[in-house]
Amino acid sequence: MNNTLLIISREYLTRVKKKSFIILTLVVPILFAALMVVPVLLATKGREHVNVMVVDDNDIYINNFTDDAKTSFSYRSGDIEQIKKEALAGDYDVVLYFPRSSQKVNANLYYTEEPSMYLRSELESQINSLFFDYVLQDSFNIDLDKYNTIKDLSRSQITMIQIDENGVEKESMAELNKTIGMICGFVIYFFIFLFAGQVLRGVLEEKNNRIVEVLISSVKPIELLLGKIVGIALVGLTQFLIWIVFTLVILTAVQFAMPDKFMEMSGVDTEQIMESVKDSQLIETVNTSKMAAGDTFDTGNIFAEISSYFPISFTEMILCFLFYFLTGYLVYSALFAAVGSAADNETDSNQLTMPITMPLLLTIVMVMPIADNPNGQLAFWLSIIPLTSPVAMLTRLPSGVPLWELLLSMVLMLLFFVFVVWFAAKIYRTGILMYGKKVSWKEIWKWVRYQ
């Protein structure tokens, strides 16, 4: 045990002191924060106030467009060439022109500086809606008020209600559960391969530098293997924790430095946002039971409101994520370490790791079907088999998994880890001291059988 702790300490301290570790630890949070902040800033910049001059030779759209916080419409009639020059040289950003046509909607958008995609989308949406209303009135003599009333009355809404083993009913957001499950599956897949790959490269580096010959004379192969796996796991967890903390610090600093930029995303002030949220169909659905009891929507407890939709709590989700990340990493890092000991270079190791990585690659390909049908036979078996369960089970969890299936998956994962360490140690003991020979799977199997 003392030897294993020494190896863990060596692996950890050696790697955290590297310049590459320090640089990556500092750069990645900046990139994470940039990925979150830059789209916000670009979207905010793209939604600056726009003045639109509308010219319609068909007299369909005159005085019919709806202004909002970011778009204002004005109207003129006459020669389009003259209007273009005057409008674009004056206070208008774009000129929306409808040439005379009896067949379909034709529109030209003139500008000097290219407008945002948001403006184009907004204009197309309003044009389609206005032309549809025009056709209803002009061609079919349908009263718009009556039509809108019928359309509102004919809208259907299906509320997803899940009944647990105790008969308790709970509203559920199937699409949200599916999305979160897919994200968790992809994230755990990424981290397992990221940190397990470090074990493979570490074994190859020590083998090529002949450092392992000195180490193996003082410690048992299994102690060396476990020390390397656990040491690199601690490095990964340390780096991951620093990334989270630094990213939150950067985002908090940016939000305090530019609060107006983030509020501009909505186009309205805070009171308008809250009124809009309270009036929305989503919040009305969320709080049906509370409103019936005379309660109001508690914006300070938003996470509690959201978590009420999930069959599994956030705490359980985090604990399960940590369990499957650690066990998945330990299993694949042990297998990668065994492969690294049997190979002499990275090219050979890539060929040997391909069969090992196929189960996890297959699972990531099947993430969509698993999320679509989390209780199907495919999802069940992939979440039980240890080599595929980290991704499959994390994909299923937000939609709800029976407790016995979760416990069975966890027990099998732990038992499989013990088997994999024993299996990898037998390969590691022989392969780590072999040089200059390209090893086949047949020969590796002989190492396992005859030792």
SS3 of 260-286: the string is: HHHHCCCCCCHHHHHHHHHHCHHHHHH
Rounded (10°) CA dihedral 253, 254, 260, 263: -100
Token reading at 325? 């990340």
Handedness of CA 177, 182, 183, 184 (dihedral sign): positive
- List of residues 6+ apart from 282 with CB closer than 8 A: none
Please say whether the beta carbons of 195 and 238 come within 8 A: no
For residue 279, CA distances in Å to 250, 270, 444 come to: 34, 14, 66
Q: What is the C-alpha separation between 377 and 174, in angstroms, rounded?
A: 19
Q: Is the dihedral of CA 390, 392, 396, 402 positive or negative?
A: negative
Three-state SS sequence of 77-140: CCCHHHHHHHHHHCCCCEEEEECCCCCCCCCEEEECCCCCHHHHHHHHHHHHHHHHHHHHHHHH
> So what's the pLDDT on residue 213?
65
**DSSP SS3 for 171:** strand
CA–CA dist 356, 397 (Å, integer): 25
Cβ pair 274, 299 in contact under 8 A: yes
What six digits make up the tokens of 209?
A: 């530098």
- What are 194's two structure tokens? 């990221």
> How far apart, in whole angstroms, are the C-alpha atoms of residue 91 and residue 86?
9
Question: What pTM, to 2 d.p., does this model score?
Answer: 0.62
pLDDT in tens, the chain (451 residues): 677 888 888 888 888 888 888 888 888 888 877 776 776 666 555 557 899 999 999 888 999 999 988 899 999 999 999 999 999 999 999 999 999 876 667 899 999 988 887 888 889 999 998 988 888 888 788 888 888 888 777 777 776 666 766 777 666 666 767 777 888 888 888 888 888 888 888 788 777 777 766 677 677 777 888 888 888 888 878 887 888 788 888 878 877 777 665 554 444 444 443 444 444 444 444 444 444 444 444 444 434 544 554 556 667 877 888 899 889 988 998 888 888 888 777 777 777 888 888 998 899 889 889 988 888 999 999 999 999 999 999 899 888 888 899 999 999 999 999 999 888 888 887 777 776 667 777 777 777 776 5
Q: Identify the pLDDT of residue 232.
A: 82
